[in-house]
Amino acid sequence: MKTVFSKTNLPAFLLLLILLPAFTSCEKDKKPSLRGDIVGEWELKSFTVDGVELKGSIVLASEMEFEAYSGSNGDFKWSINYIDGSSEIVSGDYTLDEEDAEVELENNTGERLKFDVEINGDDLELSGTLEGERYELKAERD
């Protein structure tokens, strides 16, 4: 009886071992999302307004930091150091529209900036028209 039980269960056991990896890999790979990809610190490499490069002539250095969403938005901080030695820090909340690939920044005084956003690995591009001027920012992940 013991050998009959072993012989009938061996093929079933082997079949289970073969099929088990298929069941564990059925979960679809998650598609990268802007919400996850934007999180982190970004160093601006280019900052242009209407095609004029400001980095190096007016802006000495600039960094942006996006924290992970907590609820319906996330926190951001944008620091800008100018050639003349002055600096400013803008902070507030950001929201992402993943379908339209847009990020909206709302600072602590309620002012809003909306950019088209594109992330390719460690490269971030933000572009948009603000008060009639075309802004383009290019950054790399720190």
Q: What percentage of the chain has pLDDT greater than the value 70?
A: 77
pLDDT of residue 30: 56
**Would you state the structure tokens that stand for residue 100, as one six-digit string?**
């339209």
What domains does the chain contain, in order, with CATH numbers? 34-141 (2.40.128.280)
Q: Are 134 and 121 in contact (CB under 8 A)?
A: no
Average pLDDT over residues 31-53: 93
User: 55 in helix, strand or coil?
Assistant: strand
Strand partners, 119: 124
What is the average pLDDT value for the chain, to the nearest integer?
A: 86
User: 83-120 pLDDT, tens per residue?
Assistant: 999 999 999 999 999 999 999 999 999 999 999 999 99
Strands (E) across the chain are located at: 40-49, 52-53, 59-66, 74-82, 87-97, 102-107, 112-120, 123-130, 133-141
In the predicted model, is pLDDT for residue 25 greater than 60? Answer: no
- Alpha-carbon distance of 11 to 8, in angstroms, equals 6
pLDDT tens for each residue of 12-21: 554 445 655 5
Q: What is the pLDDT of residues 60-83, one digit of tens each?
A: 999 999 999 999 999 999 999 999
Residue 142, pLDDT score: 86
Among 70, 75, 68, smallest CA distance to 89 is for: 75
Residue 114, amino acid: K
pLDDT value at 31 more than 90: no
pLDDT at 138: 98
- Work out the average pLDDT over 23-42: 74
